[in-house]
Structure 1
Amino acid sequence: MRILLMTLGSRGDVQPFIALGCALKSDGHDVAVSTAANFTDMIEKAGLRSAPVSVDMQAELEGSVLMEGMRSVRGLIRAWRLSQDLMQTQLQDVWDVAHREHPDVIVYHPKAFSAVYAARSLGIMAMPVYLQPAYTLTGAFPNPIYPWRRSGLLTRRLNRAFLWLTRLGYSSLLRKWFAKRQDVPSKSSIDVLTGYHPAGNPVPRFHAFSQHLVPSPDDYGIHERTTGYWFVDPDDTWQPPADLEAFLSAGPAPVYVGFGSMPSQDARALTRDVVAALDMAGQRGIIATGWSGLSGGDLPPQHFALESAPHSWLFPRCAAVVHHGGAGSTHEGLRWGRPTVICPVFGDQPFWGYVVARLGAGPRPVKQKKITGQVLADRIIQALDPAIASAAEDIGSLLRAEGGARQAADLITEIARDQQTAD
C-alpha cells in the first residue's frame, strides 16, 4: 500500500512519524513523510521518501518575530497575523502533496488538518495522530493546555469547551482557504480532529504517548488507541564528535540541559543561570545550544556546549536531563530511565512536568522564566536522589517494552487492508 504520513511543526512533531514510517516500511508498504523540507535529510536517512511542503512555519516564526510576540501585544498580533498567512499556504501545501502522492491511506497530525479534505477528495481514509492527550473528550483529567491539574465536576465541560474552540479556529482557517480555492470539490464540514472514512465509519485515532505516563481514561471510546510513544530506533552508525567523546570519558556522567525549540528572551542570562546551577549542584553539564537560544560562549571546562546529537545516543550517557517538557523530550528522557527536570514555557509542557513529578521520576517543574541558579540547582539535586533515579529507571523499562510504532503500524495495515477488500 501507498501510505502518506503528514505532519507539521518541530522535530518533536516529525520524529514519531518517521518511527511509524519505518515500522510500516518493514511491512512492505511504500511510505512517504510530508513535512517541512528541512527534515528531508532525516527522513531519507531513515529510508523513507520525503514529500515536503513549501513552508516551514517554525523557521518563519523563529528569532525576532517570536521574541517580539513574547514581549508586547503589538508583537503578538504581528506574529499571529504572520502565522495565519502561513497557515493558508500550509493548508494548500498539504492538499497538493496528498494529490501528488495519491496514497491509499493518510495518517496525519492535527496541524496538517486539510489532509482530511484531501482524503475525502481522493476517496481514502485519513487517521489522526495525537502526541498529547488534548484532542479527545474526557472527564478524567483537565486538558493539558489548562494551567490547573486537578479534576472536578466541571472538567468534562471545560475540556469540551477547549475542543469547541479548537474546531472553531480550524473552521475559520478553512473558510478563508475555501474562499480562495476552486479545486476543493466539496466544502461541507468534516471534523478534522476525528479523521475521515469514505463510508462514514469511525477511524482509529492514535494516541502516540505512553499509557504508563497517561493511562487511558475509562470514558475513551473504542476507537481511541493509546499505543505508546513512537520512538525512532537508535542510530548505531552515528559517531560522536571527538571532543564530545573526550568530554564524556573525562569524568562522571553529566547532566544534559536543553530547551529544544523554545526561544529565550535573554540567552546569555539563562546560560549563566544554567552554569551556576550545575556548579552549585556539583555536576558536569552538557548544554545544548541552537534553537533553544542557550549560548555556548566560553564555558568552563566542566561543561560542554553541544550543537546537536541524537537523544537516543546521548541521554543514556547522562545522569539526568533538564528540558522544556515537550512530549518527545519527556518520553525520550524517561525511555532511557533518566531523572527528569522540566522547565516549561507554554502549551502542554507544564502537563508533562506534572506527569513526571507524579510518577516520582523528577521534581516539580519550574517555569523557564523563573529559573535562577539556586532554583535550578535545587531541582537537579532532587532529581539525582536515588529514589527518583530508581523510579525513572523503572519507567524506562516499561516504555522500552511498549513498541508503540509497531502497534500502530499493525493496526493501520489491518484496517487499510480490510477497507481495500471491502472496496
Structure 2
Amino acid sequence: MRVLVVTVGSRGDVQPYVALGKGLQAAGHHVTLATCARFRTVVTDQGLAYGQLSDDILQLLDSTAGRAAMEDATGVFGSIKTNIKLARQANPINRKLLVDVWAAAKQAEPDVIVYHPKALAGPHVAEKLGVPVVLALPVPVSVPTGDFPLVGLPALPLGRWYNRLTYRLAGAGYRMYDGMVNAFRRETLGLARTSGAALTTRLPDGRPIPVLHGISEHVLPRPADWPAHVHLTGYWFLDGADRWQPPPALVDFIEAGDPPVYVGFGSMAGRDPHRLTRVVGEALRLAGVRGIITTGWGGLEMVEQSDTNWHLTQAPHDWLFPRVSAVVHHGGAGTTAAALRAGKPSVICPFILDQFVWGRQVFALGAGSAPIPQRKLTAQRLAAAIREVTTNADVQGAAARLGRSLAAEDGVANAVARIDAVLDRAG
C-alpha cells in the first residue's frame, strides 16, 4: 500500500514521523513523507520518498519575532502581543501549506494519509481522494480528557471540568482557520463547506478519525475517559547509533573522567543564545561536572573545547545519552523520550507549550529535577539542579527503572499495526 505521512514544524515534529515511516516501509508499504524542505535529507537519507512542503513556517520561527515568542511564552499566556502578530504572519503560510499538501498527495497517490495536526489539509485531502486517514501526534493535544489540561494551559486545582474546558478553548482558537480551510475545500478540492473545518475530528460518514499518540503509557498513563479510537502506542524512536561514527576525540573525552552532563536545547534559542551559553558554562563550573554542549539548530553557541567542556553540533541521542550522567534539555517530546529510554535523569528547561508538560511529568515520575523555565534560568539554579540529578540515588534509580520499561516497548511496531488495521477495515 502507498502511505502519505504529512508533518509540519521543527525537527521534533519531523523525526518521530520519519521513524514511523521507516516502520511502515519495513512492513511492506511505499511511504512518502511530506514535510518542510529543510528536512528533505532527513527523510531521503532514511530511504523514504520526499514530498515538498514550504519552509516558510520555520523561517518565521527563526525570525526575531519568532525567537521573541519562544523566549516570552509561558504556555499560551505569554507575550500576547507577540503571538497575535505571529498568528497574523502565519495566515498566508498556512494557506500555502494547504495547497502544498494537496500537491504532495496528488504525486504520492496514497491509499492512506497519516497526518500531524499542524497539517490542516490532511483529513480534507483524504476525503477528496476517498482514502482513510489517521491523526498521529507526539503530544496529547487533540483529544479532550479530564485527567490533564490542554498543553500550554496552566494545571489548576479546579478538577476535571476545568481540564475538559481547556480543550474547548483550543477548539475556539482553531476556529480562526475555519474560513481558510473551507476556502481550500471549495476552491482547490471542490468539496462542500464543513463545520469545524480546521479541527476535523470525524470522517465524512460520522465515524471518528483514529488517533495515534507516539507516547509511552509508562510516562503518560492513558486517560480512562479517552474513547476506543484513541491510542498510546509508545514512542517512535529514530535510532542512528549504528550509522554514526563518533569522532575519536569525543570518545576520548567521555572516557577521560566521570560521565559528563549533556546540555542541548535543539532549535529553541530565544532572543539571546549567547547569554544562554554563558549561563550553561557557568552552571557546569559551579556544579563541578564535565559537560558536552551541543549547539543543535541555534539553541546554544559554540564553546571552546577544554578538559571539562566539549562542543558538538549534534549526535544521535541513542549513542550519546547512554554515555552521559544526566541530560539538560528544553523538554521537547523527542529529547525527553530519548533521555528517559537511556535511563538518565533530566533537568528540563522549557521554553514553550508541551515542554512545560514534560518537565512536570518527568519530575512527578521522580526521574528528574523540578523544571526550570527558561525565563527563570540562572547559572545558580541550573547548577543546583545538575547537582541534584547527578548525586541523588533516588532520582537516578527512578530514571534507570523507567529506561528499562521504555527499552522493552516498540512504539513504531504498535503504530504500524494500528495503521494496518485501518487499511484492512477500508479493504
Q: What is the TM-score when the length of structure 2 is the normalising length?
A: 0.92
SS in 2 for 1:61: helix
Q: How does 1:220-369 map to 2 (within 5 A)?
A: 220-298=226-304, 300-369=306-375
Q: What is residue 392 of structure 1 aligned with on the other side?
A: 399
Q: Is the 8 A contact 1:140 1:151 kept in 2?
A: no
Q: Is the 8 A contact 1:141 1:149 kept in 2?
A: no
Find the aligned partners of 2:301 and 2:374 in 1 and give their Cα distance: 15
Q: Is the 8 A contact 1:2 1:31 kept in 2?
A: yes
User: How many residue pairs were aligned?
Assistant: 419
Find the aligned partners of 2:197 and 2:233 in 1 and give their Cα distance: 22
Q: What is residue 58 of structure 1 aligned with on the other side?
A: 58
Following TM superposition, by how much is the alpha carbon of 1:183 offset from its aligned partner in structure 2, in angstroms? 3.9
Q: What is residue 75 of structure 2 aligned with on the other side?
A: none
Following TM superposition, by how much is the alpha carbon of 1:138 offset from its aligned partner in structure 2, in angstroms? 0.8
Q: Is the 8 A contact 1:23 1:405 kept in 2?
A: yes
Find the aligned partners of 1:377 and 1:75 in 2 and give their Cα distance: 31
Q: What is residue 115 of structure 1 aligned with on the other side?
A: 122
Between stretches 161-170 and 191-200, larger displacement belongs to 191-200
Q: What is residue 49 of structure 1 aligned with on the other side?
A: 49
Q: How does 1:105-254 map to 2 (within 5 A)?
A: 105-148=112-155, 150=157, 152-175=159-182, 177=184, 181-189=187-195, 193=199, 197=203, 199-254=205-260
Residue type at the aligned position of 2:54: S
Q: 1:190 to 1:101 in 2, by over 3 A?
A: farther
Residue type at the aligned position of 1:16: P
Residue type at the aligned position of 1:170: Y
SS in 1 for 2:181: helix
Between stretches 56-65 and 389-398, larger displacement belongs to 56-65
Q: Is the 8 A contact 1:337 1:394 kept in 2?
A: yes
Residue type at the aligned position of 2:253: F
Between stretches 72-81 and 334-343, larger displacement belongs to 72-81
Structure 2 segments unaligned to the other structure (5+ residues): 73-78
Residue type at the aligned position of 1:174: V
Between stretches 34-43 and 4-13, larger displacement belongs to 34-43
Find the aligned partners of 1:331 and 1:186 in 2 and give their Cα distance: 41
Q: 1:169 to 1:78 in 2, by over 3 A?
A: closer
**1:5-42 CA distance string (max 9 Å, x none):** 11011111111111111111111111111101221212
Following TM superposition, by how much is the alpha carbon of 1:67 offset from its aligned partner in structure 2, in angstroms? 3.3
Between stretches 305-314 and 285-294, larger displacement belongs to 285-294
SS in 1 for 2:101: helix
Q: 1:308 to 1:176 in 2, by over 3 A?
A: same
Between stretches 403-412 and 67-76, larger displacement belongs to 67-76
Q: Is 1:13 matched up with 2:19? A: no
Find the aligned partners of 1:38 and 1:126 in 2 and give their Cα distance: 25
Q: What is residue 34 of structure 2 aligned with on the other side?
A: 34
Following TM superposition, by how much is the alpha carbon of 1:216 offset from its aligned partner in structure 2, in angstroms? 0.8
Superposition RMSD in Å? 2.2
Following TM superposition, by how much is the alpha carbon of 1:77 offset from its aligned partner in structure 2, in angstroms? 4.9
Between stretches 63-72 and 339-348, larger displacement belongs to 63-72
Q: Is the 8 A contact 1:322 1:343 kept in 2?
A: yes
Between stretches 352-361 and 309-318, larger displacement belongs to 309-318
Residue type at the aligned position of 1:147: P
